[in-house]
A = this chain, B = another copy of it.
Amino acid sequence: MCGIVGVVGNENATDILVNGLTKLEYRGYDSAGIYVNNQNNQDFLVKATGKIKELKNKITPEVKGSIGIGHTRWATHGIPTIENAHPHLSNDDRFYLVHNGVINNYQELRDDYLADVKFHSQTDTEVVVQLVDRFVVDEGLDTFTAFQKVLHLIDGSYAFLLVDRQNPETLYVAKRKSPLLLGLAQGFNVVTSDAMAMLDQTKDFVELNDGEVVILTQDDYQIFNENNQEVKRDSYHLSVDSEAASKGTYPHFMLKEIDEQPSVMRRISQEYFSSKGEVEVDENIVNSILDSDRIYIVAAGTSYHAGLVGQKIIEKLAGIPVEVHVASEFGYYPPILSRKPFFIFLSQSGETADSRQVLSEVNKKGHPSLTITNVDRSTLSREATYTMLLHAGPEISVASTKAYTAQIAVQAVLAKALSEKSNYESGKQFDLQTQLALVANGMQEIVDEKQLLDDMSRRILTDADNAFYIGRGIDYNVALEAALKLKEISYIHTEGFAAGELKHGTIALIEEGTPVIGFITDKLSAGHTRSNLQEVLSRGAEVFTISMKRVANENDGIILPDVDTLLTPLLSVIPAQLIAYYTSLNRGHDVDQPRNLAKSVTVE
């Protein structure tokens, strides 16, 4: 959450910053701001609450500079006001700072060093810029040394960009736990939370590690580690299609990304199967997992829901016991681990702070790990032992769709590879390549039935106060994801529930007209789920069913083409994604940038 950008050595700094922030908006949009300096003693600070377009409206033509920093905020401390928006500045107007992260000990730092200083915001960030000023002005340190001194005092996570008005040729940069990259462009340099935001300027980036501090100028960068030793590091060239990050003719990224899912399935099939139809996964990953006695999947939000499905797939196809854990819980309250655990981290962005905190403990204990992510070279990817990529293309909409289905498909690939190596029969006999082809075709059929789901949404959801998705087994796992989707963008309080568990209390919420959407894909439990739907029908619920052909009734709301039971989530989630999309639209909300949310959650 929060995105930051910086530029040094380009006369169009303002445009570069605003363009970059627009692409970082998925990281938060409670407020935004820029500071630019034209090196002729002219500088400008512009801030606005709300989205980037509010900021744009406030930027007048004279706001120009050759160095600048920008910020889009996801509020952690202090409500979204102009005062709390970044950049923050020191009281003497000399230092300007943007920050992504959380300073845990800001209150202590303020009490210890700045008791006499008047603060202008409720943020944890302002203390940092005031403290740099104190060390420079009162203690006579140079700016870089003062900055380093402050960094050593901080307990927390950060990506910082600092400008000293008395030296407006230099950007001071620091990173710990929050993502940050340098970008090397023609005649100038940039810095950004996400490479995607600077693709219009450059495709050459330099990675930064935790604890590093950088002096960035128009034509040079010097990286120092925590011991103040200079570190030499070359840039890498990012091969990414910047067109993929545009929504083309679609009204919203989310709809585009829903529609892309059949082709993502085909791409995963291509990437992970040889021309002979053999599954291809790095043998080291397979051996390392087969050498372990239990898999621990760690993830958050939608990725956690994909992990729940992955558990069922891996257990069934590969015969290895799997536990799935919410990252923020596992971090501080881990269960008793097995003797030889293997960890899988699921993260679309590869930057999720809650997962990083777990991975750092896992690394300390020397356990092997695999990150399954959409972003090559992301932090979780670099810090884990192994990586498997989703190949889903950039996902811009805050509500994740194609990353969820890609995560499930890639876990199935992994399960298949494990079974081939270990000769585990049920996996060996599972024709994943054919199934993925069936899935891709099935997805296409469903996305072509959009109108049906728009109609359903208008009929039972658009005016609803709350709602439920229910199912059993793997359908329950999808119900959790379906409910989250609807919550995220329609703001209807929705819960996913194990169909059999509803009667143990929560059924008290069912009243005349409460929407209850049931998933029914498996013969084993179809009858029981239908009984549970009868129980809510008896209490007046509006019931809609998403069923699979082999267990369908004529009254079902939408009937999905048959695929293997283990892969049903890849189809059954699609109507739920579309229901969320249309409900958000019909209620007049911002589909791609729902309130309060941010895509890449880089605070704990």
A-to-B contact residues, CB < 8 Å: 1, 30, 75-80, 102, 104, 300-302, 304, 311-312, 315, 319-323, 326-329, 331-333, 335-336, 338, 354, 399, 465-466, 472-474, 476, 484, 487-489, 491, 493, 495, 498-501, 503-511, 524-525, 527-528, 531, 534-535, 537-540, 594-598, 601, 603-604
Q: Is the CB of A484 within 8 A of B506?
A: yes
- Residues of B within 8 Å of A474, CB to CB, are 333
- Residues of B within 8 Å of A528, CB to CB, are 328, 332, 604
Q: Is the CB of A534 within 8 A of B77?
A: yes
Q: Is the CB of B501 within 8 A of A332?
A: no
Instruction: Give the nearest-CB partner of A485 in chain B.
Output: B505
Closest CB in chain B relative to A333 CB, distance in Å:
4
Q: Which of B329, B484, B488, B508 contacts A596 (CB 8 A)?
A: B508
Closest CB in chain B relative to A467 CB, distance in Å:
9
Q: Is the CB of B329 within 8 A of A476?
A: yes
Q: Is the CB of A312 within 8 A of B328?
A: no
Measured in the bound complex, the distance between the Cα atoms of B358 and A500 in whole Å is 13
- Residues of B within 8 Å of A498, CB to CB, are 326, 328-329
Q: Which of B102, B321, B595 contacts A531 (CB 8 A)?
A: B102
- Residues of B within 8 Å of A327, CB to CB, are 500
- Residues of B within 8 Å of A495, CB to CB, are 493, 495
Q: Is the CB of B484 within 8 A of A505?
A: yes
Q: Is the CB of A300 within 8 A of B531?
A: no
Pairs A-B, 6 closest by C-beta atoms? A328-B500, A301-B504, A333-B473, A75-B538, A321-B336, A466-B493
Closest CB in chain B relative to A536 CB, distance in Å:
9
Measured in the bound complex, the distance between the Cα atoms of B59 and A594 in whole Å is 57
- Residues of B within 8 Å of A329, CB to CB, are 472-473, 476, 498, 500-501
Q: Is the CB of B333 within 8 A of A312?
A: yes
Q: Which of A1, A77, A319, A501 has the most chain B CB atoms inside 10 A of its CB? A: A501
Q: Is the CB of A75 within 8 A of B539?
A: yes
What are 14 A-B interface contacts by the 8 Å CB criterion? A76-B535, A79-B539, A79-B540, A104-B527, A301-B504, A302-B505, A321-B336, A326-B501, A329-B473, A329-B498, A332-B472, A399-B505, A466-B466, A503-B601
Q: Is the CB of A76 within 8 A of B501?
A: no
Known pairs A484-B506, A501-B300, A501-B326; A333 contacts B472 (CB<8 A): yes
Q: Is the CB of A524 within 8 A of B301?
A: no
Closest CB in chain B relative to A409 CB, distance in Å:
21
| Inter-chain pairs besides A322-B336, A329-B498, A489-B508, 15 sampled, C-beta below 8 Å | A1-B503, A77-B531, A79-B540, A300-B504, A326-B498, A326-B500, A329-B473, A333-B525, A354-B504, A399-B505, A487-B509, A491-B511, A508-B595, A508-B597, A528-B604
Measured in the bound complex, the distance between the Cα atoms of B332 and A525 in whole Å is 7
- Residues of B within 8 Å of A527, CB to CB, are 104
Q: Is the CB of A535 within 8 A of B75?
A: yes
Q: Which of A30, A484, A507 has the most chain B CB atoms inside 10 A of its CB? A: A507
Instruction: Give the nearest-CB partner of A499 in chain B.
Output: B328
